[in-house]
A = this chain, B = another copy of it.
Amino acid sequence: MEPLIRHIHHQLHLTTEEQQQVIRHFTRINVAKKAIILKEGSYCRDLFFVEKGCLRLYFIDEKGREQITHFAIENWWLTDYLAFDTANTAAFSIQAVENCTLLQISREQLDNLTQAVPLMDRYFRLNLQRAFGAAQRRIMMMYEKSKEDYFYEFNEKHPEFVQRVPQYMLASFLGLTPEYLSELRKKLR
């Protein structure tokens, strides 16, 4: 079964006909490691579902450094949601951290899809509810925790992920220097 259909079926049931309609609205793309699939300042037309691989969302800060704020691995959705929602230019870029297989859907196609298969509105609602809930907790952590505590907590929750992505990217995401992250990891061992 398609990874997306499997992911949907964790939450609700689609008929075979509906499954085919869902798949028909997406374009499957293979992108090589380091490929940029959304560029800050360009129009954000698409939402991406990761079938295989890993994406990072980042922006260029005032000092000209890349700052990663989100990753997406298998079964995660990613885009600059505000730009996608308002058909506006992106404030973030998205790059492939590994070779990826992605499902891509434009805003118009997403509208067509939810007209054709209204249950997909529910699927996205439930996903976004969880994603927004996670963002609320992350904002809480950013107020409360030191960056060190955030690393320890993140490492405990997502150990495979900490192993998987390049360390300088993880450092950027955590707001640490790569050297300091390396020290913290040594302490953990």
Contacts and interface: CB of A to CB of B under 8 A. Distances in A.
A124 to B, nearest CB: 5
Contacts of A129: 81, 84-85, 124, 128
Given A118-B118, A125-B121, A132-B128, A143 B61 contact: yes
Interface string A133-163: 1111111101110000000000000000000
A69 interface: yes
Contacts of A76: none
Interface string A89-113: 0011000000000000000000000
B143 A69 contact: yes
Contact of A137 (B91, B128, B130): B91
Contact of A142 (B84, B85, B142): B142
Interface in A159-186: 175
Q: Which label, helix, strand, loop or mixed, suits the secondary structure of the A interface?
A: helix
Contacts of A131: 128, 132
Contacts of A175: 143
A135 B133 contact: no
The 4 closest A-B pairs by CB, nearest first: A82-B133, A81-B133, A128-B128, A135-B135
30 contacts: A59-B144, A61-B143, A61-B144, A67-B143, A69-B136, A69-B139, A70-B139, A80-B133, A80-B136, A81-B129, A82-B130, A82-B133, A82-B137, A83-B133, A84-B129, A84-B133, A85-B126, A85-B129, A85-B133, A91-B137, A92-B136, A114-B125, A118-B121, A118-B122, A121-B121, A121-B122, A124-B125, A128-B128, A135-B139, A138-B139
